Chains A and B, each alone.
Chain A
Amino acid sequence: MTRSSSRTAAAKGVPFSASPVLAVQLPAWRSRVVLFVLFAAFCALIGRALWLQGISTEFLQKQGESRYARTLELPATRGKITDRNGQVLASSMPVKAVWAIPEDVLQAPKDKLAELAHLLDMSDAELRNKLDSDRSFVYLKRQVEQDTVDKITKLGIDGIDTRKEYKRFYPEADVTAHVVGFTSVEDAGQDGMELAQQKTLVGMTGSRRVIKDRIGHIVEDIQAVREPHDGKDLTLSIDSKIQYIAFIKLKEAVEKYQAKAGGIVVLDVKTGEVLALANLPTYDPNNRSVLTGAQLRNRVMTDTFEPGSTLKPFTVALALDTNRVTPATTFQTAPGIMYVGPAPIHDSHPHGILSVSEIIQHSSNIGTAKIALSMPAEEMWDMFTSVGFGQQPKFGFPGAVAGRVRPFKSWRPIEQATMSYGQGISVSLIQLARAYMIFARDGDEIPLSFQKVDEPPVGQRIISEKTAREVRAMLETVASPTGTAPKAQVPGYRVGGKTGTAYKVVGGVYAKPYRYVASFAGFAPASNPRLIIAVMLDEPGGVLHFGGDVAAPVFSEVAANALRSMNIAPDSTVTNIVVPSDTSEEAM
């Protein structure tokens, strides 16, 4: 108190003008120095400002931006695959890939690593193996589901991180495996429709550059956003109900007749859509850790076989269409063996005089051969080619094969005769089913489609409507108590079709002892066909191996269930199916 009061007193005591400090005379250069120093300081500031604002501005802006601007990747999902009714057959869900920086992870305590291994579904040794690498980045496991990832994050091990990715789920699993196909871990189509439609299914990832605030909120976009484009959804022509019926009935037959493999395809006659396509053996696309080539093989599309008698209707149709025969024209087929040059042709049962209708009904090789030999080879070749045999299929499915029909110029008479009943020619099951379109559709043919068709396509005429109806009537007699395929009958519906039992060719010659491919191709209901069903069983190992015994029952059951599920009215009052006890009448 006293000190401050004495200071004020002192200040008050001396007037400012009389202050002795003012009286001191300083050298003039001192003020100049101060002035200069101040000026220099200002110059430095201005210079610095110029430097920052003018010359190094770009660098600084970049640095600044890198502290708040971020480029975000905008993920795009692969399109879903659904059946014709919208039931999901394949869908991508976000999952995580777990990756690690091995050096950091190995620092973690042992019990935590053990727990990690447990969560990742691996043994301790396996995990250690993965981490034992000098790289700074290793995937521990791809496509881990979110629940597991949460648990792993909770462990809090240093050096473990996750990356977003997608996993494809196939709810129908093995039932639709061969049609839908599957994708790789990188979400690229590998087989089936996933591969065929890769371009439209795959999405385009987008990106955006944004400013983030201190908390991590996005504040604004600094560039135009590159929008992500999700893959387009794909609607298949498959009807999952019919697919399931076809699959399960085929499976039962393959097991019951001890066949090595089997295939079935169901077509919609009006639109050319593939309603069902199943193969056995099959696989689960959700779990492909163990896969064999046999499981992956889409036999319906990629395997060719000698169709056998299922081809006879085409020979007969050609003869009818060119007015060489009528359904009532008769041929002598006795005594059950015939020679074309030195080569014999057999019927499994001698028949005597048969009309053209009966030749089909009893599947007489001799009758068919006699009809065929009355026609030039070129016309037969034209017929086979125009229904698609030996031609590369155009329905956009990976791996579909052309089959084999040799050029007609090299046909010898015996070959022409055997080809008329389906030997010396090879086709795939789907080609066979498609060829039956000409009978089911009153003589014209439409392209097949694996995608849903909105407008029925315009057909291309192959044979006349009259011929198609005549052949249809003949095929109906096959699926009757007196034909070769009484087991193909369906209660309440009129159906038609043709059996086939062919020897398997191995290395260019018929395999001995004989191995068979039993097949049946047919349509239902016969009055106004809506479905074509073709069934093939490869090497049935039991006592029964004829198409009429092993393949026809599959046709019958699938047709009955599919017709019912499609709400197609019955066209027959016959409900009591008569299957004669002796049904072994069958030619090749």
Chain B
Amino acid sequence: MSERLNFVLLAALVLCALSLVNAQYQARQLFIELERAQTQTRQLDIEWSQLQLDQSTLGLHSRIDALARRDLNMVPLTHERTQYLTLEAK
């Protein structure tokens, strides 16, 4: 009887040991994936900052001003050429 019990326990032990090994392996895989994702986050953050900076650089008022005047032949708005619309007073 006790021999059978021992056998069962042995089998359980081996199973537990194997599952531990497996769990550890899985954990490491997931950890590496997490690591990769975090690196990507940083990379994207940097890229985002870069794009924001580019947006600011390309959207400089001096640049827009120059482009509008030179390439699009635009002139600054003046008061005389502005039609003001006001909400009807109730």
Contact = CB atoms under 8 A, between A and B. Distances in A.
Q: Is B a genuine binding partner of A? A: yes
B10 to A, nearest CB: 27
Contact of B49 (A91, A218, A575): A91
Given A87-B56, A569-B84, A218 B31 contact: yes
A563 to B, nearest CB: 10
A551 B32 CA distance: 65
Interface in B43-61: 46, 49-50, 52-53, 55-57, 59-61
B46 to A, nearest CB: 6
Given A87-B56, A217-B35, A80 B49 contact: yes
Residues of B contacting A: mostly: helix
Interface string A82-105: 000001110111100000000000
A379 interface: no
Interface string B1-44: 00000000000000000000000000110011001000000000
Contact of B53 (A77, A169, A219, A564): A169
A575 B82 CA distance: 11
A241 interface: yes
Nearest to B46: A94
B78 interface: yes
Interface size range on B against A: 20 to 34
Contacts of A560: 79
A561 B35 CA distance: 51
Contact of B50 (A93, A217, A218, A491): A93
A331 interface: no
B80 interface: yes
A89 B59 CA distance: 12
A219 B79 contact: no
B84 A88 contact: no
Report which residue of A171, A175, A240, A569 has the largest number of chain B beta carbons within 10 angstroms of its beta carbon: A171
Interface residues of A, number: 30
A88 B79 contact: no
A570 B49 contact: no
A231 to B, nearest CB: 12
Given A560-B79, A575-B80, A217 B49 contact: no
A368 B5 CA distance: 112
A570 B79 contact: yes
Contacts of B46: 93-94
Contacts of A491: 78-80
A88 B52 contact: yes
A124 interface: no
B62 interface: yes
A88 B53 contact: yes
A218 B28 CA distance: 9
Nearest to B55: A88
Report which residue of B49, B55, B79 has the largest number of chain A beta carbons within 10 angstroms of its beta carbon: B79
B19 to A, nearest CB: 18
Interface string B59-90: 11110010000000000111110101010000
Contacts of B56: 87-89, 91, 171-172
Contacts of A408: none
Nearest to A221: B31
B77 A564 contact: yes
A171 B79 contact: no
A89 B60 CA distance: 10
A398 interface: no
Given A217-B32, A492-B79, A91 B62 contact: no
A90 to B, nearest CB: 9
B53 to A, nearest CB: 5
A139 interface: no
Contacts of B86: 569
23 contacts: A87-B56, A88-B52, A88-B56, A89-B56, A91-B52, A91-B56, A93-B46, A93-B53, A171-B56, A172-B60, A217-B35, A218-B32, A219-B31, A220-B31, A244-B61, A248-B62, A491-B78, A492-B82, A564-B77, A569-B84, A570-B79, A570-B84, A575-B79
Interface of A: 77, 80, 87-89, 91-94, 169, 171-172, 175, 217-220, 240-241, 244-245, 248, 491-492, 560-561, 564, 569-570, 575
Interface of B: 27-28, 31-32, 35, 46, 49-50, 52-53, 55-57, 59-62, 65, 76-80, 82, 84, 86
**Which 7 residue pairs are nearest across A and B when measured between Cβ atoms?**
A244-B61, A491-B79, A171-B56, A88-B56, A492-B79, A171-B57, A91-B53
